[in-house]
């Protein structure tokens, strides 16, 4: 899970992109980088941590020009510590440089590396570099030709931003697995993983970059073309963006659901969950912050299974548990990140409590949180996951290291119930989730159903290979 953003045409592009990325900080916190161009050269800076810690005013001042791209990175345990794994990556191109930022994950890295001509090696340990290097090796007459040439044979998910001195190019793979949206402010066009980043800089959301689209932004305005192999049947948009990753104010996947806000989708998830797995005697419905707030509102909306209750308050002085790189740190932070209301209307004490979570991945956070909930002496605790069981690890962008660490992959519902020490435990059924989507076949549910079809998709309509 990463965040990308770009702008073309504004004054102080680096400052605007900084604000846009701040609004996407929930997606990744390990490193942040910005590349800009003044029309002649590229400038770039990157470092570890959240964007506010990496960039001071002096850094932004050194990022000259009216166009910029940026990347927030969620590092993985596979990272080679001797390599400089920040993005954007820059590479020489036509006497100047090109920069790239990538949200997604390639699934045929070994094959792609073998395809490189003799002598080509990688400088980083990020698959992003593979894409950029294929682009630089390609030899079509136009930049778009080279992009198409570079991307054929590349499997997996990618939303890309490429910055040249005279243009910014946004690309979304034919599956559309990762979101990417287009906005406009004054004379500038903006692209970002989420629409909330557009709104943070007062840009209007225009539309999504379409699955398989190559959108070029330059002084000449917008120019759109398609990856030649892109067909509607390729579409496999990540459902988890809507469930967990995205900001509730964002619109994701306009393709399928129009401009439904993420908050509304989550409300409907909770509403449906209650229909299928109600808790008739419940007093209160508590959402695990921050993602499950709207699911809890939906669950409580019928009035039959308890009232909505913000009984779990999140500390404002600690990061998001899912995006910490190792288990040890996660545990310590979980212990400090929640403040629970024990007494009164919204108190847990003596109540029949429904705890709604967005999902159940490793189960670690849930277990620690439930022990804190029981310390408040509720009468009963019923756990509800607004997402079906996660049984398969994601190959397209999320850092789980195989199925074994997924709680629902190895335990029955009853085992999970006992592990979490709750009175009942239920998941939204996968069919119900399908029912909440206009066209389920446009989505990827691989983490729930194991259908990794993105890996198999043919994207080799052109014969010539680099």
Residue 191 main-chain phi, psi, to 5 deg: -130, 150
Q: Compare residues 138 and 227 and give the one whose CB is closer to a second copy.
A: 138
Q: Compare residues 139 and 410 and give the one whose CB is closer to a second copy.
A: 139
CB of 446 to a second copy, least distance (A): 27
CA nearest neighbour of 449 among 423, 463, 429, 464: 429
CA nearest neighbour of 386 among 425, 329, 423: 425
- Candidates 154-162, 224-232, 256-264, 439-447; binding stretch for a second copy (CB under 8 A): 256-264
CB of 283 to a second copy, least distance (A): 14
Instruction: Return all residues near 78 (Cβ < 8 A) that are at least 6 apart.
Output: 125
CB of 450 to a second copy, least distance (A): 32
Can you name the residues that pair with 204 across neighbouring β-strands?
Answer: 184
Q: Is 348 in contact with 341 (CB distance < 8 Å)? A: yes
CB of 187 to a second copy, least distance (A): 18
* Cα three-residue angle 196-447-246, rounded to 5 degrees: 5
What sections of 259-392 are H helices per DSSP? 262-276, 293-300, 327-337, 364-374
Q: Does 224 bind a second copy (CB under 8 A)?
A: no
CB of 143 to a second copy, least distance (A): 15
Q: Does 83 bind a second copy (CB under 8 A)?
A: yes
190 in active site? no
Instruction: Return all residues near 328 (Cβ < 8 A) that are at least 6 apart.
Output: none
User: 19-58 mask for a second copy (x: CB under 8 A)?
Assistant: x--xx-xx--x--------x-xx-x------x-x-----x
Q: How far apart are CA 237 and CA 456, in angstroms?
A: 15
Cα separation values, 95 from 40, 49, 98, 136, Å: 11, 32, 10, 12
Q: Compare residues 340 and 432 and give the one whose CB is closer to a second copy.
A: 340
Which of the residues 311 through 330 are near a second copy (CB under 8 A)? 313-320
Q: How far apart are CA 395 and CA 455, in angstroms?
A: 9
Q: Does 173 bind a second copy (CB under 8 A)?
A: no
Given candidates 260, 405, 421, 451, which one binds a second copy under the rule CB under 8 A? 260
Q: Compare residues 253 and 396 and give the one whose CB is closer to a second copy.
A: 253
- Which is catalytic among the residues 2, 190, 444, 447? 2
Which of the residues 110 through 129 are near a second copy (CB under 8 A)? 119-121, 123
Q: Compare residues 22 and 210 and give the one whose CB is closer to a second copy.
A: 22
Q: Does 225 bind a second copy (CB under 8 A)?
A: no
Given candidates 259, 438, 441, 461, which one binds a second copy under the rule CB under 8 A? 259
Q: Does 93 bind a second copy (CB under 8 A)?
A: yes
Instruction: Return all residues near 421 (Cβ < 8 A) that are at least 6 apart.
Output: 370, 371, 374
Which is it for strands 352-357 and 380-385: parallel, antiparallel or unpaired?
parallel
Q: How far apart are CA 367 and CA 288, in angstroms?
A: 12
Which of the residues 124 through 153 are near a second copy (CB under 8 A)? 136-137
Length in residues, the chain: 466
User: 280-309 mask for a second copy (x: CB under 8 A)?
Assistant: ----------x--xx--x----------x-
SS3 assignment, position 415: helix
CB of 58 to a second copy, least distance (A): 8
* Residues catalogued as catalytic: 2
């Amino acid at each position: 899970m990463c965040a990308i953003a770009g702008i073309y045409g504004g004054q102080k592009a680096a400052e605007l992109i900084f604000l846009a990325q701040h609004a996407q900080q929930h997606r990744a916190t390990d490193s942040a980088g910005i590349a800009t161009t003044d029309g002649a050269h590229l400038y770039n800076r990157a470092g570890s941590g959240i964007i506010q810690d990496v960039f001071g005013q002096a850094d932004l001042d050194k990022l000259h020009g009216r166009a910029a791209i940026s990347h927030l990175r969620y590092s993985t345990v596979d990272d080679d510590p001797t390599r400089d794994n920040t993005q954007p990556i820059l590479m020489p191109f036509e006497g100047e440089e090109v920069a790239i930022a990538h949200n997604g994950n390639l699934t045929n890295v070994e094959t792609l590396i073998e395809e490189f001509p003799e002598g080509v090696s990688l400088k980083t340990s990020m698959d992003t570099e593979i894409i950029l290097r294929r682009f630089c090796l390609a030899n079509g007459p136009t930049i778009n030709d080279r992009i198409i040439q570079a991307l054929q044979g590349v499997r997996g998910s990618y939303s890309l931003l490429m910055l040249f001195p005279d243009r910014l190019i946004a690309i979304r793979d034919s599956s559309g697995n990762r979101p990417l949206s287009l906005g406009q402010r004054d004379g500038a066009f903006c692209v970002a993983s989420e629409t909330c980043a557009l709104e943070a800089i007062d840009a209007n959301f225009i539309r999504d970059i379409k699955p398989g689209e190559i959108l070029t932004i330059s002084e000449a305005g917008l120019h759109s073309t398609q990856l030649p192999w892109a067909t509607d049947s390729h579409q496999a948009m990540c459902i988890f963006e809507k469930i967990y990753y995205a900001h509730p104010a964002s619109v994701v996947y306009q393709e399928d659901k129009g401009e439904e806000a993420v908050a509304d989708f989550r409300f409907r998830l909770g509403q449906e969950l209650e229909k299928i797995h109600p808790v008739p005697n419940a007093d209160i419905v508590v959402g695990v912050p921050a993602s499950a707030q709207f699911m809890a509102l939906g669950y409580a909306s019928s009035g039959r299974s308890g009232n909505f209750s913000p009984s779990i308050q999140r500390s404002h002085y600690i990061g998001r548990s899912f995006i910490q790189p190792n288990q040890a740190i996660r545990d310590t932070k979980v212990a400090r990140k929640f403040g629970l209301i024990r007494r009164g209307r919204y108190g847990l004490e003596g109540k029949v409590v429904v705890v709604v979570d967005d999902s159940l991945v490793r189960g670690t956070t849930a277990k620690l949180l439930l022990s804190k909930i029981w310390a408040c002496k509720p009468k009963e605790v019923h756990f509800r996951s607004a997402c079906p069981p996660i049984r398969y690890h994601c190959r397209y962008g999320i850092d789980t290291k195989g199925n074994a660490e997924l709680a629902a992959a190895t335990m029955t519902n009853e085992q999970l119930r006992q592990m979490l020490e709750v009175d009942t435990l239920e998941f939204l059924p996968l069919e119900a989730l399908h029912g909440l989507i206009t066209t389920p076949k446009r989505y990827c549910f691989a983490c729930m159903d194991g259908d990794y079809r993105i890996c198999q998709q043919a994207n080799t309509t052109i014969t010539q290979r680099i």
